[in-house]
Structure 1
Amino acid sequence: MRYSVLAEAFEKLEQTSSYLQKNALIVDLLKKTPKEEIRRVIYLLLGRPWPTYISKETGVGPQQLKKALSLASGYTLQKVEELMREVGDFGKLAFQLLSKKKQVTLFSKPLTVQEVFDTISSLPEITGEGSVDRKIAEVSKLLSSASPLEAKFVVRTVLGDLRIGVAEGRLRDAIATAFGLAPEEVEHAYMLTTDYALVAEAAAKGREELQKLGVTVGHPVSPMLAQRAEDLDEILERLGGKGAFELKLDGIRIQAHKDGQKVWLFTRRMEDYTSMFPDLIDPIRRSLKPEQAIVDGELVAVDPRTGKPMPFQEVLKRRRKYDIEKVSKEIPIRYYLFDVLLLGDRCLIDLPYTERRKLLEQAVTEIPEKVMVVEQLVTGDRKQIEEFLNKSIQMGHEGLLAKALNSTYRAGRREFVWLKLKPVLETLDLVVGGALSGKG
């Protein structure tokens, strides 16, 4: 498949803000895309040649891109920088330079989707001495074979800034329409895989292939979320008079994946935080007994002096690229597990909560003060629940999380089978005495 087909679609998508028109353009593109190219096309449509949950960058920044454009167009670096100051957008800059390029590339052939995809996806793997120059050479080679319109979107993809107004949320309806499926079927497959390229590739082969998609280690699952309840009366009514009550922790929701010695940590937004918490990797590896597992839990910062949980803002300080080891000693963390989605090759999301909890306890060897199963109380007794709530507050936690005993793990859904119970705070009548204007 020629990359020009993709570039022309990108140009049309950039020029329209209408949801329906964008949807129609994506549907048309998917229908004309060969099945073997679907995955590459979806990734490039989203502006990066890998899933969003993979933390990768090409390592090619503005300065390197200017040099690549200079090599491909024949213009001096000074002229490239001068034009960039005028247009302010690398895509438009590439279009202008390639429209008037001073040198002709001999024996060039039309760019293909596979060539663009493979070249850009290989850039993060180019490392070591001379890697910057080698990356510039690879990008320049692509641009030398590109038309002005193709060059516009090649450079934007390299920078990870496609600017065509297409995000993952827009793809559900387009994939469903293109391949004759219900939007709910497409959405369900995405919630299990968080990868629309994988979903579209399966959808192109038919409903049966789509239904084969499931939970896989290394692919984050869209987490199940809880609703807020007004009070304990509402919770007991919704749960049929009895439920499982867990300590509600105030930290970062983390889904841990284990595959042998390999461990990944994903947030509720499917971001890869593995590198930020190296002090948690080995404990998780040792704690989870099966070779393969996916567990759900909360990562909490702990005051090293008191052992009590620290405010949510403190654990956020652990999200960083630098000084990770130093900060890990200043702000130690604990990982509390409360659910399990996969053990070995067995997917557990359709099992009732009580069965998943039992399997979780069997699969985990607790490591005190590092990896633990969250404390739980199964009851319908109001007094016991209120005492457990008070205990949670005294321990420094937010409250309780109530769960229906027969609830399945509903990936990506927020329903009234998981309910938050927090203490009722005293209301205050206040008068605003002044204000400070904000910044930013």
Structure 2
Amino acid sequence: MLFKDVAETLERISLEQSINKKVEIIGDLLRRAAPEEIDVVSRFVIGKPFPEWSGKELNVGWRTVLKAAVNVTGVDSGEIVKLFKRYGDTGSVVEAILEKRKPTLLSPVKPLTVLEVHEILEKIAGISGEGSFQGRVKLVEHMLVRASPIEAKYICRLLLGELRCGFNEGLLEHAIARAFDIDVKKIRKANMLLSDIGYVAKLSKLKPPKIEDVKIEFFRPVRFMLAEQAESIAEAWRYHSGRVAVECKYDGARVQVHKLGDKVKIFSRRMEDITDSLPEVVREIVDIEGEFIVDGEIVCWKNGPMPFQYLVRRLRRKTLSDELLETYPVKLFAFDILKVGGRDLIDEPYISRVKVLEKVLKGAWNVIEIAERKFPSSEEECTEIFENCTKRGFEGVLIKAIDSPYVPGRRERLWFKYKGEIGRHIHEFTLVIIAAEYGHGKRAGLLSDYVFAAWDRNREKLIPVGKAYTGLKDREIAYMTKRLKEIALYESGNRIYVKPKIVVDVAASEIQISPKYPLGYALRFPRIVRIRPDLSLEDVDTVEKIEKAFLRDVKFKSVS
């Protein structure tokens, strides 16, 4: 398949308002794709050239793209500034630049294929070290010199991770189901188990489809099951008629540990391979008999739980010194098991999985523990467990139905989390930074003011909901400045717009009406509670949660 086919399809769905029509258009494209390229096509249409767990990153910024475009066309920087003011999007700017390119008298350029573009993107992802900027520029040039304007637009958007087509992974699941006449529930389950929508599309295209046979595979992380927020202990207790287990909620990073033979890999909630960050855990896992996939929490631990930010400092490092390992020691608290040997466990009840977990992790370990759990006989006992957990420095509790299956990738009421009553008028949201501004005074030269966004109801578009400049320490602001510059899309005055990669927890005193923001609401006095390197864009809250918080504020004021 030519890349032009993909680019023209993306342009078509970007202009289409109907979600059903978008799904139909992409479904048609997938039917036309050959078996050896459908995985690549599927990832391209959602702007993700590689599976999240592959470890491959393009690390391409807007300067790389524009440098390549200038080298190919000879356009001057003044023209680029004008085009940016007009379009505000690197892909559209490069498209406009190439439309002005004069045709040559040389023989026709061989058109780009989908697989050629993918091969070049893999080469870009493999570049590192000295001269990497120029190396990336050369490879981008190699594509642009053969690209039509519309192809260039979507090559650049792929490179920058921002397609702007209103088409996401959830819609792609529907498109695959439609293209190959398969129940979308089967597609969704396969994607939750394999965490690779391209591979799911490939299995679906086979004759007959192999989607029915999908099982959990070692070293392909499974989407994590998530807990619903409970307003009270009573809500969770009564919802499950008291048939629950209660675990302390650790203030750490969720991880999934895969062991097959002597090989161990540890994945974060973002599906990133963080094995090298946890050598002491790996050493002990290797010594445990059997093959398994365990779900748990990594916590900085020294005679008790340490603050989450200590763990963040450790997970950011690519190299770990002995001093760092000693300063920020960690423990793995395992609380679930998804697979043992060739047996998938996710459809078995929680209580059965726990028994398997205890059998697999039997014995005494230094940095591995099975998470503490109790089976209360009353709501009052459930409350006592919560109070005991918080006194010992834990975040709160998880309340889990004892007969619950493990539902990958879903926030289910089968599990509840409860952190206590921090005040009905205090709100906390998980949001993503989409822009940042330079500070003043002692923060001059630092990106210290952050614009954050939530998903719309359909999880298709990010909606700005506020701006914060408090909550982070100087060290964190310096880190954010460096990281934001690495993921910048373009600059406008004092503000830089960035790829939506940095997820943060934001607290606000209340939600207020604000015509300044598209939603009509904004967070009042927001502050960043913590940076969440363990979370991805999929974990960001929707505007619906903010609207519900606004209604709670209105109700709170009316009775106070």
Range class of TM-score, shorter chain: 0.7 to 0.9
2:329 aligned with 1:332, yes or no? Answer: yes
| Residue 69 of structure 1, CA deviation | 2.4
Change (3 A) 1:37 1:379: same
Structure 2: distance between partners of 1:160 and 1:280: 34
Structure 1: distance between partners of 2:136 and 2:163: 19
Partner of 2:225: 224
Decide which of 350, 368, 375 is 2:347's aligned counterpart: 350
Partner of 1:300: 299
| Residue 46 of structure 1, CA deviation | 1.8
2:172 aligned with 1:171, yes or no? Answer: yes
Q: Which moved more, 1:165-174 or 1:417-426?
A: 417-426
Structure 1: distance between partners of 2:413 and 2:524: 39
2:48 aligned with 1:48, yes or no? Answer: yes
Amino acid at match of 2:227: A
Once the two structures are superposed, the pairs formed by residues 126-137 of structure 1 within 5 Å of their partners are 126-127=127-128, 131-137=132-138
Change (3 A) 1:63 1:346: same
Change (3 A) 1:284 1:15: farther
Decide which of 363, 370, 380 is 2:377's aligned counterpart: 380
Secondary structure of the structure 1 residue equivalent to 2:37: helix
| Residue 376 of structure 1, CA deviation | 2.3
Change (3 A) 1:140 1:232: closer
- 1:45-98 deviation digits (Å, cap 9, x = unpaired): 12232013444322443343334324433x1xxx34333222223322332333
| Residue 283 of structure 1, CA deviation | 3.9
Structure 2: distance between partners of 1:219 and 1:247: 28
Decide which of 287, 294, 306 is 1:310's aligned counterpart: 306
Structure 2: distance between partners of 1:224 and 1:333: 23
Structure 1: distance between partners of 2:525 and 2:377: 49
Structure having the higher Rg: 1
Structure 2: distance between partners of 1:373 and 1:438: 37
| Residue 353 of structure 1, CA deviation | 2.1
Partner of 2:148: 147
Partner of 1:244: 245
Q: Which moved more, 1:90-99 or 1:39-48?
A: 90-99
Partner of 1:277: 277
Structure 2: distance between partners of 1:427 and 1:25: 45
| Residue 230 of structure 1, CA deviation | 5.9
Check conservation: 2:277, 2:318, Cα contact below 8 A: no
Change (3 A) 1:139 1:365: farther
Amino acid at match of 1:214: K
Amino acid at match of 2:41: V
| Residue 118 of structure 1, CA deviation | 1.4
Check conservation: 1:23, 1:173, Cα contact below 8 A: yes
Change (3 A) 1:138 1:378: same
Secondary structure of the structure 1 residue equivalent to 2:52: coil
Aligned-pair RMSD on alpha carbons?
A: 3.4
Check conservation: 2:53, 2:273, Cα contact below 8 A: no
| Residue 323 of structure 1, CA deviation | 7.6
Unaligned runs of 5+ residues in structure 2 are 426-508, 510-522, 529-560
| Residue 142 of structure 1, CA deviation | 1.9
Structure with the higher fraction of residues in helix conformation: 1
Check conservation: 2:234, 2:379, Cα contact below 8 A: no
Secondary structure of the structure 2 residue equivalent to 1:36: coil
Change (3 A) 1:357 1:147: same
Amino acid at match of 2:83: V
Q: Which moved more, 1:3-12 or 1:167-176?
A: 167-176
Amino acid at match of 1:32: R
| Residue 176 of structure 1, CA deviation | 1.9
Change (3 A) 1:141 1:423: closer
2:383 aligned with 1:371, yes or no? Answer: no
Structure 2: distance between partners of 1:208 and 1:103: 46
Structure 1: distance between partners of 2:423 and 2:142: 66
Partner of 1:98: 98
Check conservation: 2:284, 2:365, Cα contact below 8 A: no
Amino acid at match of 2:253: I
| Residue 23 of structure 1, CA deviation | 2.3
Structure with the higher fraction of residues in strand conformation: 2
Secondary structure of the structure 1 residue equivalent to 2:265: strand
Partner of 1:189: 190
- 1:318-348 deviation digits (Å, cap 9, x = unpaired): 4425686465544332210000111233222
Partner of 1:33: 33
Change (3 A) 1:132 1:227: closer
Secondary structure of the structure 2 residue equivalent to 1:341: strand
Structure 2: distance between partners of 1:144 and 1:411: 43
Check conservation: 2:242, 2:379, Cα contact below 8 A: no
Q: Give TM-score, length-normalised by structure 1.
A: 0.83
Structure 2: distance between partners of 1:425 and 1:99: 57
Partner of 2:391: 394
Structure 1: distance between partners of 2:260 and 2:383: 40
| Amino-acid identity (%) | 32
Identify which of structures 1 and 2 has the higher relative contact order when contacts are C-alpha pairs closer than 8 Å and 6+ apart.
1
Count of matched residue positions in the alignment of Structure 1 and Structure 2: 426
| Residue 137 of structure 1, CA deviation | 2.9
Change (3 A) 1:437 1:342: closer
Structure 2: distance between partners of 1:159 and 1:390: 47
Structure 2: distance between partners of 1:436 and 1:419: 28
- 1:193-245 deviation digits (Å, cap 9, x = unpaired): 22221222222236751112221122221222234556666655554554433
Structure 2: distance between partners of 1:22 and 1:300: 43
Q: Give TM-score, length-normalised by structure 2.
A: 0.67
Structure 2: distance between partners of 1:426 and 1:42: 45
Secondary structure of the structure 1 residue equivalent to 2:352: helix
Amino acid at match of 2:292: A
Change (3 A) 1:385 1:39: same
Partner of 1:159: 160
| Residue 402 of structure 1, CA deviation | 3.3
| Residue 164 of structure 1, CA deviation | 2.3
Check conservation: 1:287, 1:367, Cα contact below 8 A: no
Unaligned runs of 5+ residues in structure 1 are none
Secondary structure of the structure 1 residue equivalent to 2:369: strand
